[in-house]
Amino acid sequence: MIVVYHLNSKITAVETAGSQTIEFDFKGSIAEGLHVLAQQFPDEVLVWCNTALKEQLNCELIPSLLHHHKLILSFSVSAFNFLERKIGYIDESLFINVNKKVTYPTWQMSSDIGVVHAAVVNAMQGIIVRGGNFDYYLNSFAKLGVQAGLLCYSEPRLLKQLPTVAPHLTSSYTLFRFVRQHYKTRWIFLLLLNLIIYENKFPLVPMVYSLFYKNRNNKKINLDAVTVKSSRIVLDKGTVDVIIPTIGRKKYLYDVLCDLRSQTNLPKNVIIVEQNTILDSVSELDYLHKEEWPFTVKHIFTHLPGACNARNIALKVIESEWIFLADDDIRVSQNFIQKAFENITKLGANSVSLSCLQKEDNQTFKTILQWGSFGSGCSIVKTESIKNCRFNIGYEFGYGEDSDFGMQLRNQGCDVLYLPAPEILHLKAPIGGFRTKPVLEWHDDKVQPKPSPTVMLYQISNNTIEQIRGYKTTLFFKYYTHQKITNPYHYFVHFRKQWNRSVFWANQLKTR
């Protein structure tokens, strides 16, 4: 382990983990020095630390935190990250609203303290200009790297104690430059518009100045040579329970069960929550009892419809170390669970969502990534990670329960990784014959809410004020071509009423 101490944009000392000084007479930027050290010590872990935090550096814990090479960790002791909250105006992703109390996925890195393996730094040689602003370099490094499979986290455990530091302010020039170099060009104009609307600011000069910089997203980054073999032990017993909510898909569910009984790594329990809204009805799944299954089938029948409720019922009877949240219209190969566990072990992951596509779909993502959502019908999660998580009933019959459940996991320090393999085939079966379309509470509202109240519920529960405002602006423009009002002013008035109704209903759903 090589520790780089820095102050005022310069490296002040380089030491080993045992506090032995390494001669390093380097006058360039911190970023340049980091690359020089990575080439000199290609098999070492590189740590950077502000000199003011030297006594708080938790060197003993770093080997367990950086449990494989394709990771970068850092922590900002300031209340805000380098780009502050304004980046939320143009980025709705979960990487923006960082929970600093836990290990949280984000490309927002800090110069305060951080750690990365030299192999990653060497793989990024020649990709990014190594300027004098170390924070800018680190954020660019991670923002580009995360798209190539680099796993990036805010990690409070890098420090023994967390000091209180006044937040720094990033200039508008830096913010617009970052957006120009890492997002599509249209976002700098939307950023300007949002700052005008919501903050009464008009940073036209910084916006124009940013146009002179080149976008960095066309850089080809290949991290395949970086070893991924986690030292973290996440698999002990290797037992798994499968959760399947179902309604009116008898034949499709049977095929899923046949796939599960053919697994090289058999489930311990398969928990089926069957729903039928007809009060005098009984189960149609006769094969559950007529056939022999190599696992315990826990069959729960309910007249109350809803996938959120069904999954919550199933979560209460989990027994195994792991949970496979599945749908009733998927198909998997015989070694699906075995292959999934092999990848989970290699990554040291506690939660993964797997590729789940229809036959005609092409796989967009072919690299293991930090996922921006969660799949409630295609995910495997460690049971201890979901002990305080439940599917929010407020999302029932709407959209967003998957993403919200994923955010519950992340806010407890459990990231969700996307695995391109093994794949799940999603048949997209027809809706079951006795399903009824629910009448939503806002159905008869004179002013229909926009967006859907469940979408708004996710926004107000998980996003920053800036992200909600940015979403409102983009929705305003997107929705204009899909509605009948042509007068822009009348449309604005109507849209605002719809937005307010959505906020009202979202707050009603939030209390459930």
Report the SS3 class of residue 297.
strand
Indicate the residue type of 487: N
pLDDT in tens, the chain (512 residues): 999 999 989 999 999 988 889 988 788 999 999 999 999 999 999 999 999 999 999 999 999 999 999 999 999 999 889 999 999 999 999 999 999 999 999 999 999 999 999 999 999 998 898 888 999 999 999 999 999 999 999 999 999 998 878 778 899 999 999 999 999 999 999 999 999 999 999 999 999 999 999 999 988 899 999 999 999 999 999 999 999 999 999 999 999 999 999 999 999 999 999 999 888 899 999 999 999 999 999 999 999 999 999 999 999 999 999 999 999 999 999 999 999 999 999 999 999 999 999 998 888 889 999 999 999 999 999 999 999 999 999 999 988 999 999 999 999 999 999 999 999 999 988 875 445 677 889 999 999 999 999 999 999 999 999 999 999 999 999 999 999 999 999 999 999 999 999 999 999 999 88
The percent helix, strand, coil of the chain (3-state, each to 5) is 35, 20, 45
Residue 278 and residue 160: Cα distance in Å, rounded?
58
| Contact (CB, 8 A) for 83 and 179 | no
Residue 287 and residue 345: Cα distance in Å, rounded?
35
Question: Do 240-426 and 2-168 fall under one CATH topology?
Answer: yes
| Contact (CB, 8 A) for 305 and 436 | yes
| Contact (CB, 8 A) for 111 and 6 | yes
| Contact (CB, 8 A) for 142 and 43 | no
CATH of 2-168, one of 3.40.1280, 3.90.550, 3.30.70, 2.60.40: 3.90.550
**If you ran DSSP here, which 8-state letter would residue 21 be given?**
B
Q: Please state the domain extents for the chain.
A: 2-168, 240-426, 453-510
* Reported pTM: 0.95
| Contact (CB, 8 A) for 408 and 456 | no
Q: So what's the architecture of 240-426 in CATH?
A: Alpha-Beta Complex (3.90)
